[in-house]
Chains A and B, each alone.
Chain A
């Protein structure tokens, strides 16, 4: 992925949340950096978290180690996007 791909990463995170959690396109389009995720979205249970992380890995071509997964990275849409961008863009 290109170094200027942070918007692309954000779009990918949005699409993954839509596809894995079964949210509408309108709903994920409203996600902002401070939109809370884990604990705020009833669709995002621990099984769904595994699906989100694995789908992000597949689409971005990254590997997420288990010890990198914590409440903080899933706290908000911005936190998850920052984490994914750091992984994908280096």
Chain B
């Protein structure tokens, strides 16, 4: 089902999956190019969650997917605000929201009133910025108002905001970090699979999605008590 959500900057679309009651897992795709590489996978994951009786939502963030808003006009804070708008939309339905952040998507839920945060291979802002600089190839001029990186026109302010951004991790609400077995950084759980977000040709991995759907469904149910 296609639904819409409001935020201070306007209205955007989101896909809804699963039952019309109970908690909703709200997915945040990574920023920029990696969003295209993980969208199909995220849809598969949310469908499998729905098969497990768990509702899900996949919003278009402003400047992403079908959004009519130009990415270059957005700050990082504005995108976080929009994700907060998605979560508010779920809360208005009288349902609890759990954030599912993929890679840099894990940076978007900081201001959202989520009951918990489940992060897949979270990437912090400094690592993302480093990668963007590598993809860009040459340093961009300090005076540039926007920078084109792999086909995305990004505001220079947003790039500055990325530096030092960390996934939100406070002890009051539960957080679970899941990483691939090939990733040596700290995690609560590791799963076998390849990093789809690195592939220039978008790919899917239903077996990995099924493993993650099992993990998310069990974790959300445990959080809900």
| A residues at B contact (CB < 8 Å) | 15, 18-22, 43, 45-48, 50-51, 53-55, 58-59, 61, 66
A59 contacts B199, CB within 8 Å?
no
* A66–B98 alpha-carbon span in the complex (Å): 38
What are 17 of the A-B contact pairs (CB < 8 Å)?
A: A18-B194, A19-B182, A20-B195, A22-B199, A22-B201, A43-B200, A46-B137, A47-B200, A50-B131, A50-B135, A54-B130, A54-B134, A54-B198, A55-B198, A58-B183, A59-B182, A66-B134
* A18–B193 alpha-carbon span in the complex (Å): 12
* A45–B194 alpha-carbon span in the complex (Å): 19
A47 contacts B199, CB within 8 Å?
no
Q: Chain B, interface size: which category?
A: 10 to 19
A59 contacts B137, CB within 8 Å?
no
CB-CB contacts below 8 Å: B112-162 with A: 130-131, 133-135, 137, 150
**Residues of chain B with a CB closer than 8 A to A50's CB:** 131, 134-135
Counting CB contacts under 8 A, is B10 at the interface? no
* A20–B200 alpha-carbon span in the complex (Å): 8
A1 to chain B, nearest CB (A): 10
**Residues of chain A with a CB closer than 8 A to B185's CB:** 58
Counting CB contacts under 8 A, is B225 at the interface? no
- Contacting residue for A19 out of B131, B135, B137, B194, CB 8 A: B194
A19 contacts B195, CB within 8 Å?
yes
**Residues of chain B with a CB closer than 8 A to A22's CB:** 199, 201, 203
**Residues of chain A with a CB closer than 8 A to B134's CB:** 50, 53-54, 66
**Residues of chain B with a CB closer than 8 A to A21's CB:** 199
**Residues of chain A with a CB closer than 8 A to B186's CB:** none
